[in-house]
Amino acid sequence: LVEATSGTTAAAVFTQNRVVAAPVEIGRAILATSHGRIRAVIVNSGNANCATGNHAYLACQQICRAAGRLLGLPSEEVFPSSTGIIGLPLPTEKILAALATLISERGATKKHVDLFTRAIMTTDTRPKLASVRFRSRKGTVTVLGVAKGSGMIHPQLATMLVMVTRPQTTLYCCWLPAIVVFA
């Protein structure tokens, strides 16, 4: 789970693949209707939530509604993300059962960032994360990047996920063929 403060703007670059998973289609729609106002990205690993028909869309919507309710956010501000095996139904009930614990144990420590980075890995051989701190006219700025993807990243980000965040964004331990940027 990635959660951002109110007023945070998000942007995404999506895969150009002709076949996309339900989270990609729903994510595109959410970004378009919210004008970039995304407060949370809910990520599951191990199942791509792809090629299972209507079940995939219903699962995304149900998980976004539940996460939004638990976070006190409208579901239209919760961006779905899945990575893993294609063609298997998403275990929605298992994810829903874990949401309350996930949210209650959230935090913004190095441990939480490390847990998140490892949680989104599928075929990756190592975690991918980097941060940089620099001075601007408005003070010191920290930018954190977390990525996932090592195999099927063509065409244009096919199964790659990159999240770039700033301090008001909190990574919580919990795929999406997109680059999601919170600013």
Q: Select which of 159, 165, 169, 170 is catalytic.
A: 159
178: left (phi over 0), alpha (psi -120 to 50) or beta: beta
Catalytic residue check, 5: no
Q: What Rg do the C-alpha atoms of the chain give, in angstroms?
A: 15
DSSP 77-122: GEEEEEEEESSS---HHHHHHHHHHHHHT---SHHHHHHHHHHT-S
Q: Which residue has the tokens 């993300």?
A: 81
Q: Which residues are catalytic?
A: 159
